[in-house]
Each structure stands twice: as C-alpha cells, then as structure tokens.
C-alpha cells in the first residue's frame, strides 16, 4: 500500500508540473522591478587593491534574489547583504541539474558612470536556457533594471581603468524539495558580482590547444547552445588531460570529420586566406545547436561585417574541420585564430596539437594576430563608453 501511495503521489505531482509547464495562469505575477526592496549591509567589506583581484574569488557587499512559485509567479525582488542560502537537501538543483547562469560585466567610464555591455542578449539567452530545462521565464528588461540597482548600490567595488570590471553572474536554480523527476514548481533567480582585473595583465598571452576528439562537448539535439552548469563540469577532465600534455585548453572537435566547434568555454574564430581571390575570410562555426550563442561572438560578426572592407574580407559562419586548418597551415593560408568570450573578449591561439602533429598559428603583433587586436580594441571602446555604438552600452540608472 505504501508503494502504491507513493507512486500515486508522484504521479499527481508530475501531472501538476506538466499542467504548469504547458499553460500559464493569469494569477502568476510577472517579474516586476518596481517592487524591489533594498536592505543595505551594516558591515561593508574592505575593497581589495587592483593587483590582488582574482577572478571569482571576492564578491561585493550585496546580492539580488527573486523567488518564483508556480501558483503565485514571481515574488518580491530583494537586494540584501551577500549571504549563504538555506536549501533542503532534496532540492532538485542538487539532484537533477536544474541550474543555469549568465556571464556579464559592468564597467566604469571616464565620467564614473556604470555601464553594461549588451545585457539584453544575456537576458534572451537566459530565458532560452530556462525554457529548455522547464524553469520559469521572465521579462528580461525587468531583470536588467534590478541588476542596474545592484550595480549602483555596489558601484564602489567596480575598479576604474581599462581592463578592469565587475563580473556579474545572474543565476537561476530549481528549489523544489522533491526527489521526483519533473518540472520544478519553485525556483530562484539570484545575482552575485565579483570585481576583476584584466584577463591578460601583461598584454595578450596566446594559448596552446589540444584538438580533442575522444570527448564531445555538445551534440546535435542536446543543450550545447544553452548556458547550463551541467555543460561545464564534464569538460574539466579533458581539460586536465590536455594540461598534463602541456596544452592550455581543448579545441573541441565533433564527428568523424573533425569539425571545429569551440575552444575551452569560448567560441572560436579562424582567419584564412583564399589563394585564388587573395581575400581574407573570418569564419566561425554556425549556430547549429552545438555551440553557445555567444554575445561576444555575435558582436565580432556584426562589427567585422560593418567595419572590414568587403573587397578584402569575407565574414562567414560555416563548418570547417581540423584537416582544413592543417592544410591551410601547410600551404601558408592560415593567418590567425582566437577564442571569443566575455572574460577575455578575444584569446589569441598560437598552437594546436592534433594526433602528434603541431599546427602553428602566426601571431604577428607581439602575442596576437592583427585582427584579434583590432577587435579587442573595437569592443573595449564600446564597453567603456569611449565610443557609442547602437544601444550596446547601457548606463545603469
């Protein structure tokens, strides 16, 4: 009888979850930034000097939280002193990976204003991730408004100067205390921030990659294009294995053809020369569901299409293989390569190891290719408000 009762209870719970997932009720409250409550810390943290900043090690005085319930919707947003959570050990985030996150940065411009870079793209991607694992979606502009308030409150933690910023980590987790596998009926958004210095303190440091085909980062029909925590932990073992062999990161290959998809946790770009036309080609793997829809990736493509002369450059999104790269390198048609992501903007690549063969990539401007350095400069000027471009730089108010 007990077994039957438990099965019935679980069936009812799962049915309820499916109803919640497949329909929306007017009683569910939307995320509303105007309801924000702020509780300021009474014990401010000391600020570290710039030379002691380590990525993700220290955090600001405050954090943002919003709870969600399938019956009532989004609760009251609250900014309060940075603190630990108290969650039931059976919470679904611990057992089934109901977790997603985003990575953003805030910058101080020359006027002391706090700016974020293309946060609307992060909000869109965050909602796509939430929808994919049946966590609740939200109005992106409302969360951006709340993050703005958090940034203004903790603005003193944002280091001034080029290359310095505040890393922002919006996160959503399922918080149901229930071991059944189904759509969560409770969730939480929280945002924490960490002051960071330049990714490369002494200029670009080009990386060495191991082309990895024995492990797969993502696959068609999977969740490689979503920013889920579950995508990251399985990549650490191959990264450690590559490090043992003297490489900085993995160059992720897919399929027997050896298609190049990403590098480490970044999108990747290659620059080839067309021997027939003499034109250069900037290319990256297409958005086919196996790579992350990177904000930096999108920014590079748009800026390159607009600013590089079309009679000299082709900007493409296409599939290409490690064998194509080998051939181009041997024939002198491989110009440069770099990773692209929020942390570094661009990360130049100098060397790829593949099945015992070395593929060397030119780095002509000190430790970077010419285009990688140009792109880093373009994006940096927009991020720090030195140049206004469309609506990419948002001033927190």
State pLDDT tens for residues 336-360: 999 999 999 999 999 999 999 999 9
Would you say residue 202 lies in a domain? Answer: no
* Per-residue pLDDT reduced to its tens digit, 268-325: 999 999 999 999 999 999 999 999 999 999 999 999 999 999 999 999 999 999 999 9
* Per-residue pLDDT reduced to its tens digit, 95-120: 999 999 999 999 999 999 999 999 99
Q: Pick the last residue of a domain from 168, 196, 224.
A: 196
Would you say residue 386 lies in a domain? Answer: yes
Q: Pick the last residue of a domain from 196, 221, 242.
A: 196
Q: Which domain holds residue 64?
A: 2-196
Residues 298 and 162 in one domain: no
Torsion-angle region of residue 15: left (phi > 0), alpha (psi -120 to 50) or beta? alpha
Residues 150 and 229 in one domain: no
Distance CA 17, CA 183 (A): 5
Would you say residue 94 lies in a domain? Answer: yes
Residues 345 and 389 in one domain: yes
Please give the pLDDT value at position 5.
41
- Is 228 within 8 Å of 131 (Cβ atoms)? no
Model confidence, pTM: 0.92
The strand ranges marked E within 102-185 are: 104-108, 114-117, 165-174
Q: How confident is the model at residue 9 (pLDDT cuts 50, 70, 90)?
A: very low
Residues 385 and 284 in one domain: yes
- Is 185 within 8 Å of 70 (Cβ atoms)? yes
Residues 130 and 253 in one domain: no
The CATH number of residue 187's host domain is: 3.30.470.10
Burial 82-117 (b: 16+ CB within 10 A, else e): eeeeeeeeebbbbebbbbbbbebbbbbeeeeebbbb
């Amino acid at each position: 009888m007990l077994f039957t009762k438990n099965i019935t209870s679980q069936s009812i719970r799962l049915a309820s979850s499916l109803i919640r997932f497949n329909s929306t009720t007017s009683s569910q409250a939307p995320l509303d930034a105007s309801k924000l409550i702020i509780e300021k810390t009474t014990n401010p943290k000391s600020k570290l000097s710039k030379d002691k900043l380590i990525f993700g090690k220290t955090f600001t005085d405050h954090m943002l939280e919003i709870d969600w319930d399938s019956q009532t919707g989004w609760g009251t947003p609250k900014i309060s002193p940075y603190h630990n959570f108290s969650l039931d050990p059976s919470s679904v985030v611990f057992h089934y990976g109901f977790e997603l996150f985003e990575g953003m940065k805030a910058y101080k411009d020359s006027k002391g204003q706090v700016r974020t870079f293309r946060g609307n793209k992060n909000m869109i991607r965050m909602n796509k991730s939430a929808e994919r694992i049946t966590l609740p979606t939200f109005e992106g502009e409302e969360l951006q408004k709340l993050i703005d308030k958090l940034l203004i409150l903790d603005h003193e933690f944002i280091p001034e100067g080029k290359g310095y910023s505040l890393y922002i980590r919006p996160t959503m987790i399922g918080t149901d205390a229930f071991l059944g596998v189904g759509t969560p009926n409770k969730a939480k958004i929280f945002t924490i921030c960490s002051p960071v210095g330049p990714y490369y303190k002494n200029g670009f440091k080009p990386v060495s990659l191991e082309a990895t085909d024995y492990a797969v980062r993502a696959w068609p029909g999977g969740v490689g294009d979503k920013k889920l925590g579950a995508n990251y932990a399985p990549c650490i073992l191959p990264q450690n294995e590559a490090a043992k062999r003297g490489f900085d990161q993995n160059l992720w290959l897919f399929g027997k053809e050896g298609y190049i998809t990403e590098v480490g946790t970044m999108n990747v770009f290659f620059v080839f020369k067309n021997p027939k036309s003499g034109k250069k080609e900037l290319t990256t793997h297409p958005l086919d569901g196996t790579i992350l829809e990177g904000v930096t990736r999108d920014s590079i493509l748009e800026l390159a299409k607009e600013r590089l002369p079309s009679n000299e450059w082709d900007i493409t999104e296409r599939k290409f293989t490690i064998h194509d790269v080998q051939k181009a390198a041997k024939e002198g048609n491989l110009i440069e390569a770099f990773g692209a992501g929020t942390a570094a903007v661009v990360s130049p690549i100098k060397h790829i190891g593949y099945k015992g063969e070395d593929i060397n990539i030119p780095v002509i401007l000190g430790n970077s290719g010419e285009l990688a350095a140009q792109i880093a400069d373009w994006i940096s000027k927009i991020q720090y408000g030195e140049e206004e471009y469309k609506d990419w730089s948002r001033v927190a108010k």
